[in-house]
Structure 1
Amino acid sequence: MLTDQQFLEAFDAGTLEPSAFDHRAHFRAAWLCLRAAPFRDAVGRLRRGLKRLAIQAGQPQRYHETITVAFARLIHRQMRYLGHTTWDEFQARSPELLAPDLGALRELYGADVLESPDARRQFVPPASWNVAAVDRFLQEFAEYQARLDVSAAHDAAGPSAAGAVLPPEPVCVTAVLVVVDVQRAARWYAEAFGFDVAPFPEQPPYRFALLSRGGAELMLRAAERPDDVRPVPGWTLYIRLAGGRIRELFATLAQSGDVVRPLRRMPYRDVEFEIRDLDGYTVVVSELLEEADDIPSALEESRADP
């Protein structure tokens, strides 16, 4: 069996055997693309690979835009719910998505929509996603994919396409916060989110600290002067949780922190709150909860505002 890296490289290169690319292989390709990049970029990568496989199989008409995008959305939601997992763990905990009859999608759409020519040609959102925020995303996504298609066609026609060399691939992008007191800031993030702290130098006063837990990292750097700490308006960090304990965390942080926005259920099904850390940076904390009816809806609140 190919490793994750080998599978993704073969998928990108179009060297996987089309006849062996079954539903489980589709599932794995989507999971790997989504694990490697933000949703929009991941789906662009997935589309290109699937279209390439369909062409190699001599059946370009088999590519289905709605199934590709909607299925990727379901997998992405499941990934956020489960948190960091291996491929074996993820598929073992997602049997409903692995069902070859696409039951999870048919529950959203019904057979008539998925079988329509329009759904095969362009992404058709299910009725349950028809809110303003999703509509804006769909418009932006369609424009983005159109640009990708034009770019891919241009690259394929160019004489240098075969020998093109991609830039080095980033494996991690980490935020660096300038703080007044590294030790104090590190303690706050460690107590709130369970980060392990690796400070430098070994004894305080610390000039720097690397905070890490699982695949998440954050760097703290000491300001030369307190005036150098200048949080900009809006979000500085977006922290996504797993484990279903966001209510508990909000209750704890709300007692001692500066709450910017209380716990709310968002239109895209995440639950979020915003809080300022000790240096004034706005931190968004988010988690996908399957059961969140007890949490007020941000969309309903916005509609109720005069």
Structure 2
Amino acid sequence: MQKPTAIGIAPQLLVPDVVQTAEYYRDVLGFTIIGYAVTPPVYAMVQRDGLQIHFAKAGDFTTNEHHRPSTTDFILWVPEIDAFYNELKASGANIVQEIQLRPYGSREFIVRDCNGYKILIGD
């Protein structure tokens, strides 16, 4: 029998407005909206290059930064980091840390989304 293969993971973020969040990820971060669940929407899904992020409506939520100020909420690896940085900058993304070379050899920058989540982009 062939060993099962995990082919992806979709973080699920709690947000106050799933439509606003999905549209932000589409318009600013270049994702495509897969769809919404329920009317009015309480769940949304976006994708880019086969990667998905899901959003669930929640009145109360906190980001990782609330508990540990120096951390981010999730990491997105993009080998073409300079082109992606330029794309996000042109679309008005809130870049809170410019591209930096880390001691471990990775180049990274950080974007804050419309809900305050910090996304680390690494090459």
Residue 266 of structure 1 and its aligned partner are, at CA, apart by: 2.4
CA distance in 2, matches of 1:238, 1:211: 16
1:238 equivalent among 67, 75, 83: 75
2:89 aligned residue = 251
Q: Per the alignment, in what secondary structure is the counterpart of residue 263 of structure 1?
A: strand
CA distance in 2, matches of 1:209, 1:251: 24
Identical pairs, percent: 21
Q: Per the alignment, in what secondary structure is the counterpart of residue 206 of structure 1?
A: coil
1:208 equivalent among 43, 46, 51: 43
CA distance in 2, matches of 1:251, 1:194: 12
- Deviation string, structure 1 residues 208-258 (Cα, Å, up to 9, x no partner): 1111122211111111x2xx12112221111112445033135336x5526
Residue 283 of structure 1 and its aligned partner are, at CA, apart by: 0.6
Q: Per the alignment, in what secondary structure is the counterpart of residue 279 of structure 1?
A: coil
What 5-or-longer segments of structure 2 have no aligned partner?
66-70
Q: Assess, with a 3 A threshold, how the Cα gap between structure 1 residues 207 and 245 changes in structure 2: closer, same or farther.
A: same
Higher strand share: 2
1:180 aligned residue = 16
- Deviation string, structure 1 residues 188-216 (Cα, Å, up to 9, x no partner): 1112332221222376x321111112221
Q: Mark the structure with the bigger radius of gyration.
A: 1
Q: Assess, with a 3 A threshold, how the Cα gap between structure 1 residues 249 and 268 changes in structure 2: closer, same or farther.
A: farther
Q: Do structure 1's residue 264 and structure 2's residue 100 form an aligned pair?
A: yes
Q: Do structure 1's residue 170 and structure 2's residue 6 form an aligned pair?
A: yes
Q: Per the alignment, in what secondary structure is the counterpart of residue 90 of structure 2?
A: helix
Q: Per the alignment, in what secondary structure is the counterpart of residue 249 of structure 1?
A: helix
AA in 2 matched with 1:195: F
Say if 1:207 and 1:222, in contact at 8 Å, map to a contact too. Answer: yes
Higher relative contact order (CA 8 A, sep 6+): 2
| Pairs aligned (count) | 116
Q: TM-score, normalised by structure 2?
A: 0.76
What 5-or-longer segments of structure 1 have no aligned partner?
1-8, 10-165, 288-306
CA distance in 2, matches of 1:272, 1:264: 5
1:281 aligned residue = 117
Q: Do structure 1's residue 193 and structure 2's residue 29 form an aligned pair?
A: yes
Q: TM-score, normalised by structure 1?
A: 0.34
Q: How do 1:79-228 residues align onto structure 2 when only pairs under 5 Å count?
A: 169-201=5-37, 205-223=40-58, 225=59, 228=60
Higher helix share: 1
